[in-house]
Amino acid sequence: MRIVILMGSPRKQDSLNVCKEIELRLGTKNMTYDYIFLKDYEIQDCRGCGLCFKKSEKLCPCRDDLDIIRKKLLEADGIIIATPVYAYQVPSPLKRIIDRMAFLFHRQELVGKPTLIVITSDGGGHKQVGKYMKMTISGWACNLIGIISII
């Protein structure tokens, strides 16, 4: 199974440690783990034209690395989305790709992908972020298998 791990944090600390622990428990037999540190990709802000969901995502005026991430998600057998809480929301590297992939709410190409959400926080806002991520995953039509929230 190929697990793709979307890392929302701009740093490699708490949420990465939780993912490494999950990796340790799932083991390496027939498993591969592909970490995508979103901070390392060039992802432009959504410009709000709406062409992606009105017509086709191919008409998106942004030219950046989004398709690389999208392809990895498409090819994954399972997805982990790991995020810290930043000011009661997900941090910008993750929010940016959720906005840019808003067309997935209309064309659900990731339908049925088993998806685990990992949230780390200092204890404020993890419920809101859990709810937000749950709605996002449901909009993508992925199969939410759980939310791990660590304070």
Ligand X SMILES: Cc1cc2nc3c(=O)[nH]c(=O)nc-3n(C[C@H](O)[C@H](O)[C@H](O)COP(=O)(O)O)c2cc1C
| Nearer CB in complex with ligand X: 11/107 | 11
Residues 81-110 that bind ligand X (CB under 6 A): 84-88
- Sequence-separated (6 or more) residues with CB below 8 Å from residue 122: 85, 151
Among 45, 122, 128, 134, binds ligand X (CB under 6 A): 122
Q: Which stretch binds ligand X (CB under 6 A): 10-18, 23-31, 46-54, 70-78?
A: 10-18
Query: Is the CB of residue 59 less than 8 Å from the CB of residue 95?
Result: no
Among 73, 125, 132, 147, binds ligand X (CB under 6 A): 125
Write the binding mask 15 to 54 for ligand X: x where contact by CB under 6 A, - elsewhere: x---------------------------------------
**What is the nearest approach in angstroms of ligand X to the Cβ of residue 86?**
4
Q: Is 117 exposed, middle or buried (0-12, 13-18, 19+ CB in 10 A)?
A: buried
Q: Whole-angstrom Cα distance, residue 40 to residue 65?
A: 10
End-to-end CA distance of the chain: 29
115 binding ligand X? (CB under 6 A): no
**What is the nearest approach in angstroms of ligand X to the Cβ of residue 63?**
28
Q: Whole-angstrom Cα distance, residue 120 to residue 1?
A: 25
Residues that bind ligand X (CB under 6 A): 9, 11, 13-15, 84-88, 120-125
